[in-house]
Structure 1
Amino acid sequence: MLIIPVERAVDWRRPPWMTLGIMLTCLLVFLFYQSGDGRRMGGAVAQYLDADLDRLEAPAYETYLERRIRLEGETGLTSRLGTVKDLMAQDQRVVLAHVLLMDADFYHYLLQHQSVIWSTEERSYWSQHRIPIQTDWVSQTSALAAGVVPAELSLADLISYQFLHGGWMHIIGNLLVLFMLGFTVERALGPVKFLLAYLFCGAVSGLVWAGFNWGHYLPLIGASGSIAGLMGMYVALFGRQRIRFFYFVGVYFDYFRAPALALLPVWIGKEIYDHFFAGATGVAYIAHAGGLAVGAGLVWLLGRSWLQPRETFFEPEEDEQEERFRSAYSQAMGRIGALDFEQARLQFEALWKRYPQRLVLLEHLYQLAKLRPDSEAYRDRARELMQVTQAQHQPERMLAVWQEYQGKGQPHHPLSAEDHNRVFFAGLRSGDLKTAERVFERLRATGDRTLAEEACRLLAAEFEKRQMTPKARHYRDLLGRLGA
C-alpha cells in the first residue's frame, strides 16, 4: 500500500530547481559512478571462482545462516537459506558467488571465526586469495565505499548514501516520490533551507538505521530516508488542514482527503511494524520511520524560526484564487445591479487592494466615482487610473480618461500641472499630437511656466520633425513669448 500527499500542483513559473537538482545528481551518480559496480563485481566473481573459494565458503555460509536463524531469531533469513541450498544443489556457481561476495557481514564473520571453520592450510589459502578480492574489488563497490555501514560509520557516508541506489526500479521510484513531495516543501522553505533539511533528514534516518543494526557491515543506500523526511515535513507544514492524498493498493488507486497530520502516526506505525514483522525484504523500514519523525519534528521545533514557511506558501492555488475572485466580483457586480453603489464601491475597493494587477477593478471604481463628477473621489480615481494605465503601457486609455475628465471633473477639481504633463508625454509617445496640443493648453493654464516651456519646445521639435512648418513656427513663437 502506498499513500502520498498531493495537495499542491507544480507551478512551472517558479520551478523547484533544488528538487530537480537533487534528482539530476542522483541520476548522474547512478549512471556514471555506480555504473562501475558491474565491472568491479565481475572482476571479483572471476577471481573468486578461479580460486574455487565458493567450495570453501558455501558450506560455511549455510552454517552461518542456520546459526542466525536458530540462535538469533532472524527468521527472515529462512528464504535466503533455501535459495543458497538450491544454488549449491544446482551448481549455480556464478549466482552463488554474487550472493557470498555481497554479504559483508558474512565476510567479517569468516575473518573472526576462520580458525574454527577451516584447517590451517585452508585458512592460509582463503586469506591469500579472498582478502585481496575483498580489498581490491568488493570494498570498492559504491554501496560499501559510500553507503552507511553501521560498523564503520562516518559523517561523509551519512550524506553520500542518500545519492546512491540499488537499481533502476529503486531510483525511478525514489525520484518520482521525491518530485511529488519536493516541489511543495521547497516552495515552503526556499531552495537552500530545503536542501539542508533534506540532507539532515537523510543523515538522521541513516543514524537511526545504523543504531538498529549496530556492528553490522551490510550497507544502506538510497534516498528513501530523506524522502520520508520530506513527507514528514509536508504533513507538518499543513498541520490539521484537510489535504488530498493519493493511495495505491494492489491495482486500485484513488484520492481521499484527511487532516494532514492524521497520516503521520499511520505511516510511522506501518514502518515500525514492517521493520519487525515484514522479514528480510531489504527495505530499510526503520530508516523511513526515522525520516518521517525527524522531518515532522524539524517543522514543529523550527517552524516559527529558521524553518518558518514563506508567506507565499500559504497563498491559495491559482484555480482557488480565481474562484474566490469570481465569487467576490460577482457579488460586487450584483450590488451595482441592485443600484447599491456605495456597497459596490466598498467591495470593489477591497478587491482592488487584494488584486492590484486586475485593472478591471479600478475601472469599476472609476465609473462609480464618475457618478459624482463634482467629488474629489472622481479626481482621485481618474488620476489613479491614468497612472496605472501609463505604467501598463496603455497610453490610449490614459488619454481617453483625461479627455473624459476635462468635460466632467476639471471644472470642479482641476488636475495638477504634473498630471497634465504625464498625459502630454503619453500623447507625444503615442503620436496623438492633437490631444498633446489640448493637454498643452491645460498645462499652460495651470501657470507652471517651467513645464509649459518644456512642453512647447517638444511640440515645436515634433512638428519640425514632421515637416509641419506652420505648426512648428507657431510653437517657436509661442516659446519665445513664454520665455519673455
Structure 2
Amino acid sequence: MFIAIPLETKPSWRSPPWMTLLLIAINCWVFFAWQVPEERAVQRAAERYQHTPLPKIELPLYAQELDRRAAASGKARDRRRADAVEQAQRADMVELVYQAMWHDSAFRERLLDGRLIGPGDPRHADWKAARDAFTPTEPARFTERWSQNHDANAPFRPITWLTNTFLHGGVGHLVGNMVFLFLFGFTLEMALGRGLYLACYLLGGIGASALAAWVYAGNGGLGLGASGAVSALMGMYVVLYRLRRIPFFYMLFFYFNYARWPALVMLPVWMAFELVQHLMGGAQVAYMAHLGGLITGALLMALIMATRRVEAPSAPAPSQADAAAAARHAELKPLVDKARALTQSLRFADAALVWQRAARLAPTDPELLRAWFDAARHDPASDSFHAAARQIFKLSTRHAPHRRLQVESYRVYLDRAKPGIRISPATLQQLVRSFVLEGEIHDAEQLARVLARSAPPPEGWLDTFELLINAQMKAGRHQQAQTWLPLLERHAPHEALTRRLAGQGAS
C-alpha cells in the first residue's frame, strides 16, 4: 500500500469549496438513499427465497455454472468463487448463495429466459410457477443498471462510464474516496473555479472508465466507484504544481513520514504503482481505472495550462507573529537540549545558566521555569536561584497550573534561599493572590503581613487585601480579617472595604 497526501494548502472556509462539497454530498446521497436500501431489499428477498421451491432447482444450476466458468477461465479467483458457492450450498446457506446469484447478471439472464430450465425439463412447470410468483417481488437492480458491466456479452452503454463514478461498493469504499476527493478537490476548485473544476472531474471519471472498459472487457463483474475521477484530480494536481517542491505525508505499507518533493515526480510514481498492482493480479480493485484517471487528469490540466493562465494556490505566508515564534522556537530548542544534557550529567550550575538563557526566550513557560528552578536550587545562594524564583512568582495568577507552581516554588525558596529571600512588594502581592486562590489562607496571611509593612503599598494592594479578607470571612476567620482594619484606615479610610470591615467590627 502506498499513499501520498499533499499538505501545501488548506481549505478556506471564508470561501468554501462548494462544488467539492456538493460532489461529496451527491455521492453520499446516491449510496445511502439508493444503494443501501437496495441491499436491504436483496436481503429481504433472500429470506423469502429460501421458503420457496426455487433453491432446490436453481442453486445446483448456479454452482454448476460457476464451476464451468472456473474451468474455462483457469483463473484462481473464479475457482475460489465457485468453491465458496458450492460449500455454501452444501451448508444450506440459501440466503448467501441467493445474494451471490442475484448479483450475477449473466446467470440471471439465462435463468429467467428459460435457457437453463426449458419446457422439456420435468421440473419446468413447477419451476415456472414458483419463479413467476417470486420474480415480481425481487428488488429493482439500481446498482447494476448504472455500473460498468465488464461481461463479454454486455451491451455498450457509455452513459455508465459517468454514472458508475457515483456508485460505491460499501461504506469504507465511499469514505476513502470522499476523503481523497476533498484533499485534492478543494485546491483544484480554488485554482480553476467551480465550473471548470466540475467539468474536469466528470471528464476525468469518463476517461478512467474508458480505459477500464477496454482493459477489463470480457472479464466479468461490475465497475463502480469515484476513485477513477479522484485519480484524475490527483493527476491534475501534480501537473498544476509541476516541479514546485511541496510537502507530502506518505505511507508505504507500515512506514509513514513527511517529505518535500517536486509535485510532478508523484505522477510516474502513482502510475507505476497502479500498473504493478494490476500486473500482480489485483482483481477486487480497478487499478486500470485509476491509471486512466491519472492520465486523463494530467492531460486535461496540461491542456488547460497551455490555453490559459492558472495560478497554483500556495500556503499563506506566515504572519510576523508566527515567524517570530518559529524563530524563537528554533533558537530555544538547542538551549533546552543542552540544559537537559547538563542536568542528566549532574552539572546543575551549568544547566541552571543555560535554562536561564532559555527562559529569556520563553519567560512564561511554566515547565521551562520549573526546570530552571530545580537546577538552580542546588546552589541556593546563586543569583540564578533567586532569579528563577522571581520569574515563577511573576506568572499570571489566572491559570491554576501557574498558581500551583508558585505555591510549591515559594515553599522551597523560603526554606532554601541564602542568605534569605529576595522578593519585591509587587512580587509578594502576586504570591498573596496565588495562595488565596489556591485556598492556602494561613500562608497568605503570613505573606500579607510582610506586604503590609511596605511603604508605600504597591499598586493594586487594596484589591489583593480585599481578596484575602473575603476568603478569611468565607473561611470563618473573622478575627484574623479584623487585623487588617488599621492598615485600611491608614491608607484607604474612605473605601467601601474599610467601612464594611469597620461596621462588622462594631457589630
TM-score (norm 1): 0.59
1:197 aligns with 2:200: yes
Instruction: Name the structure 2 match of 1:73.
Output: 74
Cα deviation, residue 178, structure 1: 0.7
Residue of structure 1 aligned with 2:175, choices 159, 162, 172: 172
Q: Deviation of residue 120 (structure 1)?
A: 2.1
CA contact (8 A) 2:117 2:124 kept: no
Listed as ranges, the matches of 1:122-161 within 5 Å are 122-123=123-124, 125-126=126-127, 129-130=130-131, 137-138=138-139, 140-150=140-150, 151-161=154-164
In the other structure, the counterpart of 1:300 is 302
Write the distance in 1 (CA, Å) between the matches of 2:119 and 2:278.
35
How many correspondences in the alignment? 320
Cα distance change on mapping 1:96 and 1:322 into 2, 3 Å: farther
- 1:37 maps to 38
* CA distance, structure 2, for counterparts of residue 127 and residue 208 of structure 1: 41
In the alignment, structure 1 residue 258 sits paired with structure 2 residue 261:
yes
> Which structure dedicates a bigger proportion of its chain to helix?
1
- The separation in 2 between residues aligned to 1:70 and 1:106, in whole angstroms, is 16
What are the superposed Cα offsets for residues 226-268 of structure 1, whole Å, 9 maximum, x if unpaired? 1011111111111222222222244442222222222222222
Q: Which moved more, 1:212-221 or 1:228-237?
A: 212-221
For residues 277 and 133 of structure 1, the distance between their equivalents in structure 2, rounded to whole angstroms, comes to 42
Assess, with a 3 A threshold, how the Cα gap between structure 1 residues 235 and 73 changes in structure 2: closer, same or farther: farther
Change beyond 3 A, Cα 1:47–1:257: same
1:319 partner SS? coil
After TM superposition, the structure 1 stretch with the greater mean CA deviation from structure 2, 180-189 or 271-280, is 271-280
- The separation in 2 between residues aligned to 1:193 and 1:254, in whole angstroms, is 34
Q: Which runs of 4+ in 1 moved over 4 A?
A: 109-113, 115-119, 123-136, 320-326
Point out where structure 2 has 5 or more consecutive residues left out of the alignment: 325-507
Give the equivalent residue in structure 1 for 2:187.
Answer: 184
- Matched ranges for 1:226-237 at <5 A: 226-237=229-240
Q: CA deviation at 1:187?
A: 1.4
Tell me which amino acid in the other structure corresponds to 1:80. Answer: R
Partner of 2:315: 317
Q: Give the aligned CA root-mean-square deviation in angstroms.
A: 3.1
Contact 1:190 1:310 (C-alpha < 8 Å) held by counterparts: no
1:88 aligns to what SS in structure 2? helix
State how far apart, in whole Å, the 1-side matches of 2:135 and 2:293 are: 32
The corresponding residue for 1:64 is 65
Aligned to 2:9: 8
Give 1:216 shift. Answer: 6.5
Report what 1:284 is aligned to. Answer: 286
* Larger mean Cα displacement after TM superposition, 211-220 or 70-79: 211-220
Question: Which amino acid in the other structure matches residue 266 of structure 1?
Answer: V
Instruction: Quickly say closer, same or farther: Cα 1:238–1:31, change in 2 above 3 A.
Output: same
CA contact (8 A) 2:53 2:127 kept: no
Pairs within 5 Å for 1:195-274: 195-215=198-218, 218-274=221-277
SS in 2 for 1:18: helix
Determine the C-alpha separation between the residues in 2 that align with 1:286 and 1:131. Answer: 40
> Deviations along 1:285-319, whole A, 9 cap, x unmatched?
211111111111111233222xx4533x35x4213
Distance 1:302 1:191 in 2: 14
Write the distance in 2 (CA, Å) between the matches of 1:226 and 1:302: 17
Query: Which one-letter code corresponds to 1:89 in the other structure?
Result: R
